[in-house]
A and B are shown apart, each in its own frame.
Chain A
């Protein structure tokens, strides 16, 4: 008698096209599951899909909102790519995003309030980069000096950043003009950016990052570090130097993300400033398989989720938390892709 059994076996190698196809299929799967979720919530899945698309890309207004979310998510995605390529696990983009916004505010509201544009924009970006960069650099130093895993420190530093944000909103930089809700002073007006302006800066940063990571030896240095200290040293890469600059670079990108978001929205900080773009960026980074050129696409998808959240809540009366659920489903899709590029399921006749 022959029995047919299902087995999971290792796949030796896959092509680019296969990877892409798998990604698309997994995402479709994620949204189908989201649709089923809607049925359980008593919502017509077709209504869900239509509102999701309308509120994120099919209307000008929606598209504009999506693009405004794209900027911080894309930059955090680049931040994740830069560190993960070196096998450094910076998961504290959210914290570096907060600190970047705070240093940008410090520069644009207190230190240099009278600088005219475009110099003001340069200061904005540099201040954000410096803040986020130093915040991540601390974790890089800890890694080198006492071998503390950066995944732990970057996450913990996020909570420190969150408390600092609370402190500046409620105490240090609190604007007494707002009674009730704690808010800080605002950026000087010449620091404020339009959505288009912040998008343009983000694209410039994307191009620079792409050039550095994919076209120069810096990318190779990251890859060599990820292959281990000994081979890195042999090939002339100083491991500690690469850890430091890549952590700084990674943190700087997340910091710029915070600075741009601050300058293109309210211009002041409030305790709710941290809404999870950093974490969305990490998901986007894995979704695009750590390829800088695909980062905009992956980030755009996550931005769509954010922009449709309120519309879904308003029109379908579902909780805004549904967005977290769908984000989780996308993460599952990423994991599915990773699984199926390494393993395949076969039927074995016994």
Chain B
């Protein structure tokens, strides 16, 4: 039986038609994957299913009956829960309080036991007493997943839930999803990882520019067909030349020790150097300390001890704008919390890190500003008409492109530091960014990328360091190591 059916859904925003006459359905016990390039309308579609937005036209049928979903709460009462692309949790509450609020129950011992049992059943580990404002983006994703699972819903929606998860967590989530389906529930699964679709989905639907392009059973479609449906053309993966010649030390870190937000040691006495003309990737599971490590390098976190040098100059403890002016780019993965100011127009989000360059002595903006911005938008495949649009109104991947454009192209950078830079980017943009990074390396940049994704680490890194519990465990040469070998070290 059809759990859910959407007929002819159309949704317009001020500047875009996000969904154009889309049909979609979900059967009992099925995983229905939703694919599409950045801005295709995936998040908008599941926002409509979960009551965040109302469609301009079209019908929603729940178990055969037409319904209007007024709000997320309304959708929840009807058995629909969403793990959103960007965690949206009440910052001032503890995890437990947030879950209680979501379940619409007042906190009690009984409720806590219930929640604990439910999470144990699925094998999800979250600290219920932690305050949400102190969680890392990765931990917030886990809380969102926990939140969905404590609800006894009919339909579970995961919007790019695995983008920030490590290898082990992903396997766990697949297991959970299979359990949910075996119990006769339905799952809608959004991802940019195509392999995931073949691993877990029963059916797949592809959206492109707000239209539905295809819906197929998974055993009736190939990877190439899906890619072509998503992008409307055949794509070739870019594998740039390995290891160009290196010279000089771009970034040097000596005996760096850093604390996390709770005051625990997250990075212990790490020494590392990145030469000009080389890409070093740090492969780490979430929470291994790589986040704090990178933040300490770019000035967002004061190290306890140790030194950071950029181009031979000591920048330890300097503020982020000083380090930026030294020609350092930082691509964070906490999009809405750090990467952009969501309420401000794209234009201001582009200039905000380079105010020194784009303003005059009295503080007014240069006349050539707009031309410069249009040019960098072009480089990441965005049209100039997004300039006045607030970032909150862009899709996740579009925001990530804005961050990339600003960090890499608005100033001449010599050192690039990036945390999960491919997070949320679609297949085409991912290979575009990979190519960009490789090109920048070849033109002499020193690049340090921390990622939780083994494949990206291998594809990109000239050297690959594995980090665990705040220490560099092992170093590999990118040209000889295999993904399987790395997976072994990572899960050791």
Binding site for B on A (CB under 8 A): 7, 9-10, 12-13, 15, 212, 215-218, 220, 223-224, 226-228, 230-231, 233-236, 238, 346, 348, 350
A selection of 30 A-B contacts at a CB cut-off of 8 Å is A9-B70, A12-B13, A12-B14, A12-B393, A13-B14, A13-B393, A212-B363, A215-B365, A216-B362, A216-B363, A217-B355, A217-B363, A217-B364, A218-B363, A220-B348, A224-B344, A224-B352, A226-B343, A230-B300, A230-B337, A231-B338, A231-B341, A233-B320, A234-B332, A234-B338, A235-B321, A236-B319, A236-B321, A236-B353, A238-B319
6 closest cross-chain pairs (CB), A and B: A236-B321, A216-B363, A227-B341, A235-B352, A13-B14, A217-B363
- Of A12, A227, A236, A348, the most chain B CB neighbours within 10 A belong to A236
Do the beta carbons of A7 and B70 come within 8 Å of each other?
yes
Report the nearest A residue to B353, measured CB to CB.
A235
Q: Are A216 and B341 also in contact (CB < 8 A) when A9-B70, A234-B300, A235-B352 are?
A: no
Chain A CB within 8 A of B141 CB: no
Q: Are A15 and B348 also in contact (CB < 8 A) when A216-B363, A236-B319 are?
A: no
Which A residues lie within 8 Å of B353 (CB)? Answer: 234-236
Would you list which residues of chain B between 298 and 336 have a CB under 8 Å from chain A?
300, 319-321, 324, 330, 332
How far apart are A292's CB and chain B's nearest CB, in angstroms? 15
Report the nearest A residue to B359, measured CB to CB.
A217
How far apart are A19's CB and chain B's nearest CB, in angstroms? 13
Which B residues lie within 8 Å of A224 (CB)? Answer: 341, 344, 348, 352
Which A residues lie within 8 Å of B337 (CB)? Answer: 228, 230-231
Which A residues lie within 8 Å of B332 (CB)? Answer: 234
Which A residues lie within 8 Å of B339 (CB)? Answer: 231
Do the beta carbons of B14 and A15 come within 8 Å of each other?
yes
Report the nearest B residue to A216, measured CB to CB.
B363
Number of residues of chain B lying within 8 A (CB) of chain A = 33
Which B residues lie within 8 Å of A7 (CB)? Answer: 68, 70
Bound CA–CA A248/B332 (angstroms): 33
Chain A CB within 8 A of B184 CB: no
Bound CA–CA A51/B355 (angstroms): 52
How far apart are A210's CB and chain B's nearest CB, in angstroms? 12
Which B residues lie within 8 Å of A217 (CB)? Answer: 355, 359, 363-365
Q: Are A227 and B343 also in contact (CB < 8 A) when A12-B13, A13-B393, A217-B363 are?
A: yes
* Cβ proximity bits B435-468 to A, threshold 8 Å, 1 near / 0 not: 0000000000000000000000000000000000
Which A residues lie within 8 Å of B324 (CB)? Answer: 236
Chain A CB within 8 A of B342 CB: yes
Bound CA–CA A220/B324 (angstroms): 18
Which B residues lie within 8 Å of A215 (CB)? Answer: 364-365
Report the nearest B residue to A344, measured CB to CB.
B54
Chain A CB within 8 A of B174 CB: no
Q: Are A216 and B343 also in contact (CB < 8 A) when A13-B393, A233-B319, A234-B338 are?
A: no
Bound CA–CA A303/B393 (angstroms): 38
Report the nearest A residue to B15, measured CB to CB.
A13
Bound CA–CA A223/B365 (angstroms): 16
Do the beta carbons of B355 and A236 come within 8 Å of each other?
yes
Chain A CB within 8 A of B198 CB: no
Chain A CB within 8 A of B346 CB: no
Chain A CB within 8 A of B197 CB: no
Tell me the interface secondary structure of chain A in the complex: mixed
Chain A CB within 8 A of B340 CB: yes
- Of A9, A227, A230, A346, the most chain B CB neighbours within 10 A belong to A227
Report the nearest B residue to A225, measured CB to CB.
B341
Which A residues lie within 8 Å of B476 (CB)? Answer: none
Which A residues lie within 8 Å of B54 (CB)? Answer: 9-10, 346
Chain A CB within 8 A of B409 CB: no
Would you list which residues of chain B between 349 and 375 have a CB under 8 Å from chain A?
351-353, 355-356, 359, 362-365
Given contact pairs A217-B359, A227-B341, a sample of 12 additional A-B residue pairs in the complex whose CB atoms are under 8 Å apart? A7-B70, A10-B53, A216-B362, A220-B348, A223-B348, A227-B342, A231-B339, A234-B320, A235-B341, A235-B352, A236-B324, A350-B68
- Of A7, A215, A220, the most chain B CB neighbours within 10 A belong to A220
Bound CA–CA A235/B348 (angstroms): 11
How far apart are B34's CB and chain A's nearest CB, in angstroms? 21
Which B residues lie within 8 Å of A212 (CB)? Answer: 363
Bound CA–CA A233/B363 (angstroms): 18
Which A residues lie within 8 Å of B344 (CB)? Answer: 223-224, 227
Report the nearest A residue to B54, measured CB to CB.
A9
How far apart are A318's CB and chain B's nearest CB, in angstroms? 43
How far apart are A217's CB and chain B's nearest CB, in angstroms? 5
Would you list which residues of chain B between 172 and 208 have a CB under 8 Å from chain A?
none
Report the nearest A residue to B355, measured CB to CB.
A217
Bound CA–CA A230/B338 (angstroms): 6
Bound CA–CA A224/B338 (angstroms): 11
Do the beta carbons of B320 and A13 come within 8 Å of each other?
no
Which A residues lie within 8 Å of B365 (CB)? Answer: 215-217
Do the beta carbons of A216 and B364 come within 8 Å of each other?
yes
Bound CA–CA A224/B321 (angstroms): 14
Bound CA–CA A12/B70 (angstroms): 14
Report the nearest A residue to B295, measured CB to CB.
A234
Do the beta carbons of B68 and A220 come within 8 Å of each other?
no
How far apart are A202's CB and chain B's nearest CB, in angstroms? 23
Bound CA–CA A212/B363 (angstroms): 8
How far apart are B428's CB and chain A's nearest CB, in angstroms? 27
Bound CA–CA A217/B352 (angstroms): 9
Do the beta carbons of B364 and A12 come within 8 Å of each other?
no
Bound CA–CA A229/B26 (angstroms): 42
Report the nearest A residue to B348, measured CB to CB.
A220
Which A residues lie within 8 Å of B14 (CB)? Answer: 12-13, 15
Which A residues lie within 8 Å of B342 (CB)? Answer: 227
Which A residues lie within 8 Å of B319 (CB)? Answer: 233, 236, 238
Bound CA–CA A327/B365 (angstroms): 39
Bound CA–CA A170/B342 (angstroms): 52
Bound CA–CA A264/B129 (angstroms): 60
Which B residues lie within 8 Å of A233 (CB)? Answer: 300, 319-320
Bound CA–CA A238/B14 (angstroms): 34
How far apart are A183's CB and chain B's nearest CB, in angstroms? 44
Report the nearest B residue to A14, measured CB to CB.
B14
Bound CA–CA A244/B58 (angstroms): 52
Which A residues lie within 8 Å of B343 (CB)? Answer: 223, 226-227
Bound CA–CA A220/B353 (angstroms): 11
Bound CA–CA A15/B324 (angstroms): 36
Report the nearest B residue to A231, measured CB to CB.
B341
Which A residues lie within 8 Å of B362 (CB)? Answer: 216
How far apart are B360's CB and chain A's nearest CB, in angstroms? 9
Bound CA–CA A183/B336 (angstroms): 56
Bound CA–CA A143/B149 (angstroms): 40
Report the nearest B residue to A221, measured CB to CB.
B355
